[in-house]
Amino acid sequence: MSEGTLIIGGGIVGLGIGWRLAQRGEPVTVLERGEAGREASSASAGLLAPATEVHYQEDLNLALGLESIGMYGEFVAELESVTGEPVDYRREGAIAIALTADDAADLKDLYEYQRARKLPVRWLSGDGVRELEPGISSFATAGIQCDMDHQVDPRRLVHAMRTAFVKAGGTLLEHTEVTGMRINGGPPAVRAGEREYTARRLVIAAGAWSGLLPGLPEAVRPPVRPVKGQALSLRSHQPEFLRHLVRTPRCYMGPKSDGRIVVGATVEEMGFNRDLTAGGMYELLRAAWEALPGVYELPIQEMWCGFRPGSRDNGPILGESRIPGVFVATGHFRNGILFAPVTAHYMSRLILEGDLPEALKPFSPLRFSA
């Protein structure tokens, strides 16, 4: 009889679920077509900003984000203790700023929306913004401070997750691309290369590629699409150049402990086109310079793009499919790093115990069924 759980996708979501399952003694194998964590997980800026990044009509996402960030401190402490790998978890908080009159009006609306949801935010004058971040432009007229929003280095995080998963007894098979599968009422079987892998349970966690897996039945296939994001990093040798996560209407800037400042990110419906464009880089650099003029002198360290897995309603797709024993965990869009702890916690519980937590019910794969 087939045993254990097979996970397709070795990003932060697949590794997180696999880690929690392996900790509980479940035999787990993760199949990853490339290198673990090298797609959307590593392309992220590592923002943990449910309050600063809240979007209208996404209250369900906000609730899940608030629960997940409440888990982050303990999650990181456990991960670092198990692996000995620091993940640059930073708690300085975030500031959203306005640079024009229109920006200020929009920011005021956002502030009222945040306050209505009892988020711990504080309104700042332009001078108040510069008291916290002296390098911010004199054109900044207002801001919102939120100390509960944090950030992490996503590349360090996903590497630590990889280490933790393997240390817990999980099996990670990289460069193992799925070429077909058989799901017909018996134990799920997945073909990759010359081998066929069977398991008692199957988890689809392949990010933006989740809907493209060959042989996946329509009853399981999640409606996800790639949403391209271009980003870049600058190098600063001044520790106090930027301390907080700073968001403007046109970009965000996240300082990392190694001196990088990550600037992002475009939102493009371009399929899986990996081209870095002059227009995309120009808009990001211009937006960063408008907010923080000192970036003009900083060297560019790296430019990249990634593909966020977007669903039809921008919410994650989490839960058991219409086929028993086949689970879906994708569609995290902008929030894959933020949602990592809560996704791993609740999905592992659902897989092992069959218990559907209240927090996951709004995000069921079944919500897209006609």
SS3 call for 112: helix
Dihedral sign for Cα atoms in the order 234, 91, 23, 5 = negative
pLDDT above 50: residue 115: yes
Delimit the domains of the chain by residue range. 5-76+154-224+312-368, 94-147, 225-310
Neighbours of 299 (CB within 10 A): 9
For the stretch 66-90, pLDDT in tens is 999 999 999 999 999 999 999 999 9
* Distance set, CA 341 to CA 76, 150, 348 (Å): 9, 14, 11
Task: Please state the rounded mean pLDDT for residues 111-135.
Answer: 97
pLDDT above 60: residue 1: no
Q: Determine the pLDDT at residue 184.
A: 82
Out of 138-142, 220-224, 353-357, pick the least confident.
Answer: 353-357
Residue pair 259/312 in contact by the 8 Å Cβ criterion: no
The reply to whether 5-76+154-224+312-368 and 225-310 are identical in fold is no
For the stretch 201-215, pLDDT in tens is 999 999 999 999 999
Task: Name the percent of the chain lying above pLDDT 90.
Answer: 93
Q: Determine the pLDDT at residue 312.
A: 93
| 261 band by pLDDT with thresholds 50, 70 and 90 | very high
Q: Determine the pLDDT at residue 122.
A: 97
- The whole-angstrom separation of Cα 231 and Cα 138 is 25
pLDDT above 70: residue 111: yes
- Which among 208, 242, 212 has a CA at the least distance from the CA of 228? 208
For the stretch 124-182, pLDDT in tens is 999 999 999 999 999 999 999 999 999 999 999 999 999 999 999 999 999 999 999 99
pLDDT above 70: residue 106: yes
- The whole-angstrom separation of Cα 167 and Cα 152 is 22
- The whole-angstrom separation of Cα 287 and Cα 300 is 15
Task: Name the percent of the chain lying above pLDDT 70.
Answer: 99
| 16 band by pLDDT with thresholds 50, 70 and 90 | very high
DSSP E strands in 12-72: the ranges are 28-31, 47-48
pLDDT above 70: residue 250: yes
- Which among 92, 56, 36 has a CA at the least distance from the CA of 239? 92
Superfamily assignment of 225-310 in CATH?
D-Amino Acid Oxidase, subunit A, domain 2 (3.30.9.10)
Neighbours of 216 (CB within 10 A): 24
pLDDT above 60: residue 370: no
Task: Please state the rounded mean pLDDT for residues 189-197.
Answer: 92
For the stretch 282-328, pLDDT in tens is 999 999 999 999 999 999 999 999 999 999 999 999 999 999 999 99
Q: Determine the pLDDT at residue 3.
A: 83
- The whole-angstrom separation of Cα 107 and Cα 98 is 7
Instruction: Name the one residue in this structure whose structure tokens are 């479940």.
Output: 26
Q: Determine the pLDDT at residue 193.
A: 83
Residue pair 13/218 in contact by the 8 Å Cβ criterion: no
| 2 band by pLDDT with thresholds 50, 70 and 90 | low
DSSP E strands in the chain: the ranges are 5-8, 28-31, 47-48, 94-98, 121-125, 142-146, 150-151, 171-173, 178-182, 189-192, 195-198, 201-204, 225-235, 245-247, 252-255, 260-264, 300-310, 317-320, 326-330
Pair of tokens at residue 354: 């069959």
Widest pairwise Cα distance in the chain: 68
Superfamily assignment of 5-76+154-224+312-368 in CATH?
FAD/NAD(P)-binding domain (3.50.50.60)
- Which among 360, 308, 358 has a CA at the least distance from the CA of 336? 308
Tell me which amino acid residue 166 is: V
For the stretch 47-66, pLDDT in tens is 999 999 888 778 999 999 99
Q: What is the mean pLDDT of the chain?
A: 95
Q: Determine the pLDDT at residue 354.
A: 93
Query: What's the helix, strand, coil split of the chain in %, to 5?
Result: 35, 25, 40
